[in-house]
Amino acid sequence: MPSLKEAKRVVDEAFDSGKLAVLVGRCKVAYEGRAASKLSEGDRLLVIKPDGTFLVHQNKGMAAINYQGPGTAVSTKLDDTELVLTAENTRPKIKEKIEVRFYEVYSAESFALKDDSELKVFGSERELAELLMQDLHLIEKGLVPLKQESEVRRGTIDILAEDLRKRLVIIEVKRRTAGLDAVTQLARYVDELSKRKDRQTRGILCAPEVTPNALKMLEHEGLEFFKLDYKIENPSAKIMGLQKKQKMLQEF
Amino acid sequence: MPSLKEAKRVVDEAFDSGKLAVLVGRCKVAYEGRAASKLSEGDRLLVIKPDGTFLVHQNKGMAAINYQGPGTAVSTKLDDTELVLTAENTRPKIKEKIEVRFYEVYSAESFALKDDSELKVFGSERELAELLMQDLHLIEKGLVPLKQESEVRRGTIDILAEDLRKRLVIIEVKRRTAGLDAVTQLARYVDELSKRKDRQTRGILCAPEVTPNALKMLEHEGLEFFKLDYKIENPSAKIMGLQKKQKMLQEF
DNA sequence: GCGATCAGCGGCACG
DNA sequence: CGTGCCGTTGATCGC
């Protein structure tokens, strides 16, 4: 078990030489910045990355209990009974600070990590929109794609298209259950474009599911919902089908 | 430097006895579940918590590059040249899997962490709403609080109040710059309550800032904006002032 | 359990 | 830089 002094040396040396530092020990944590927080004594895992990322993890839960992003400056101060680590982020607007007071350190190590790889993700909303863009007939015959990721004043339209009657069709794609937020988003776009272009405009929400409230609001706003079935395959995703679910409900 | 076999033993033993396991080494990562991802060879930090949380960190950035939440089952398999860790989450709906293939392990340790403390946060939106609730006169003379966190069909109203003319006042509080989403949210509540209660209803957005687009939409919808100045102090937050910013803009 | 929302959201991409 | 929005969002709270 390293002494506090040894732990301090590990952290200092790691930060100086661009290494990852990993500490485990008993500590208190205090944060002050955009909000403030206190965490009383307990055993935690501390990770300090070469880019300044500073993470305090408890022994449960995914999210770090306290954290600081890249660009943080870490300083160490040794006392008789405490090792105090201070992570300070002094960006133009936001001033933030974490203070970790270690009373005992069970492990302190540092590592030079070599890693140039970047994560590749499949099945993002953008990818689904790209696929759908090329298969608009799944929604409706004669639907013609105009533009993907079309920037309007109040956001970004996933897919802009035109139907057989030359009406504008705004399509919002969601990769998971669509809620009220998805509907308000779509409604905003339809509102903006129907005014600006002075042209009949339809709005279509495509998602694997929709919450009952969202569907109600959708119908109330005169918008449409299509159930989007997709499968994640390895180098890419694949659209399995697209079904208008609204009429079925209205049949009752 | 531990052998792959020793690393396997550490992970197995940690998982069996409710310890935190920390591995550092050269590996590939593959994920498949709600989405899919691939990460080619490189040095990474792996954290496995007793509750099943599984985190793969690169040497930069705050977020784990691959992860799995609490409840994940971890299994290990040793090969001549590889140590394969599989984290599988088989919850009712979502089936997810991460596979980490280690080629070399630089460090493998485990720790029994004792920690019963819970984080206390100051300056949350809820806290600001509580404070504001007790000082509604800051917004306007004669404003009377009716209810905090009032549940309506389409969400939760931060503060419900009544003005001197007996109009309903719906107040939405934001702890940071309010955008379009905050306005649509408020608009939804106002819409719902003005219909349900058949009563004149006002909507007020209180936030430290508001984006230009959001302010425009707010005015267009007949809603009001108050600039909320607050300070985070240690055991709590404090409201410093509240100013109607709309009229000033309209003066131009 | 689902639904809606908050979060010190983080991160990205476009203006 | 701000604005908007996606995210394997996660975490929380109310129904």
Contact A113, B59 (CB under 8 A): yes
Mean pLDDT calculated for residue range B10-15: 97
pLDDT confidence of residue B91? 76
pLDDT confidence of residue B69? 96
At how many degrees (to 10) do helices A212-220 and A180-196 cross?
20
pLDDT band for position B197 (cuts 50, 70, 90): confident
Mean pLDDT calculated for residue range A110-121: 97
Contact A20, A29 (CB under 8 A): no
What protein residues sit with their CB closer than 7 Å to strand C?
A 31, 33-35, 37, 66-70, 89, 96, 98, 149, 151, 177, 179-181, 209, 211-214; B 61-63, 92-93, 121, 123-126, 154-156, 158, 172, 175-176, 185, 188
B96 touches strand D (CB under 7 A): yes
What is the H or E stretch that residue B158 is in? Answer: strand B155-162
pLDDT band for position B149 (cuts 50, 70, 90): confident
Ranking A119-128, A243-252, B53-62, B87-96 by mean pLDDT, the lowest is A243-252
Mean pLDDT calculated for residue range A29-33: 97
CB of A38 within 8 Å of a chain B CB? The answer is: yes
Q: Is A234 helix (H, G, I), strand (E, B) or coil?
A: coil
Cα separation values, A126 from A4, A134, A174, A188, A249, Å: 49, 13, 9, 20, 29
Q: For residue B98, how far is the Cα from the chain centroid?
A: 23
B148 touches strand D (CB under 7 A): no
Asked if pLDDT for residue B252 goes beyond 80, the answer is: no
**Measured CA B6 to C1' D2 distance, in angstroms:** 51
How far is B190 from B204, CA to CA, in rounded Å? 10
Contact B243, B226 (CB under 8 A): yes
End-to-end alpha carbon distance in chain B: 70
How far is B145 from A148, CA to CA, in rounded Å? 46
- Residue in A224, A218, A222 with CA at minimum distance from that of residue A242: A224
pLDDT band for position A246 (cuts 50, 70, 90): low
Name which residue leads in pLDDT, B40 or A247: B40
Report A:85-144 residues touching B (Cβ under 8 A): 106-107, 109, 111, 113-124
Name residue, tokens 């955009």: A34
Mean pLDDT calculated for residue range B166-174: 97
Chain segment A142-171, per-residue pLDDT in tens: 999 999 999 999 999 999 999 999 999 999
Mean pLDDT calculated for residue range A32-60: 97
How far is B12 from B14, CA to CA, in rounded Å? 5
End-to-end alpha carbon distance in chain A: 70
- Residue in A201, A177, A176, A175 with CA at minimum distance from that of residue A188: A201
pLDDT confidence of residue A251? 43
Structure tokens at B229: 């100045």
Report A:213-252 residues touching B (Cβ under 8 A): 213, 217, 232-234
pLDDT band for position A22 (cuts 50, 70, 90): very high
**Measured CA B201 to C1' D8 distance, in angstroms:** 41
pLDDT confidence of residue A192? 96
Residues belonging to chain A: 252
What is the H or E stretch that residue B90 is in? Answer: strand B83-90
Mean pLDDT calculated for residue range B53-74: 97
How far is B127 from B46, CA to CA, in rounded Å? 36
pLDDT confidence of residue A245? 81
Q: Own/partner pairs for A228-232, CB < 8 Å, 24+ apart?
A: A228/A128, A228/A132, A228/A173, A228/A174, A230/A123, A230/A128, A230/A131, A230/A175, A232/A122, A232/A123, A232/B32, A232/B34, A232/B35, A232/B36
pLDDT confidence of residue B235? 85
- Residue in A220, A214, A154 with CA at minimum distance from that of residue A182: A214
3-state secondary structure A104-166: EEEEEEEECCCCCCCCEEECCHHHHHHHHHCCHHHCCCCCEEEEEEEEECCEEEEEEEECCCC
Q: Chain D: nucleotides under 7 Å from a protein CB?
A: 1-11, 14-15
Mean pLDDT calculated for residue range B215-238: 95
Name residue, tokens 């600070």: A97
pLDDT confidence of residue B246? 67
At how many degrees (to 10) do helices B180-196 and B212-220 cross?
20
How far is A86 from A97, CA to CA, in rounded Å? 7
Q: Own/partner pairs for A203-206, CB < 8 Å, 24+ apart?
A: A203/A169, A203/A170, A203/A171, A203/A172, A204/A139, A204/A169, A204/A170, A204/A171, A204/A172, A205/A171, A205/A172, A205/A174, A205/A178, A206/A132, A206/A139, A206/A171, A206/A172, A206/A173, A206/A174, A206/A242
Q: Is A36 helix (H, G, I), strand (E, B) or coil?
A: strand
Mean pLDDT calculated for residue range A96-105: 98
DSSP string, B165-186: T--EEEEEE-SS-B-HHHHHHH
pLDDT confidence of residue A252? 39
CB of B24 within 8 Å of a chain A CB? The answer is: yes
What is the H or E stretch that residue A56 is in? Answer: strand A54-57
Average pLDDT taken over every residue of chain A:
95
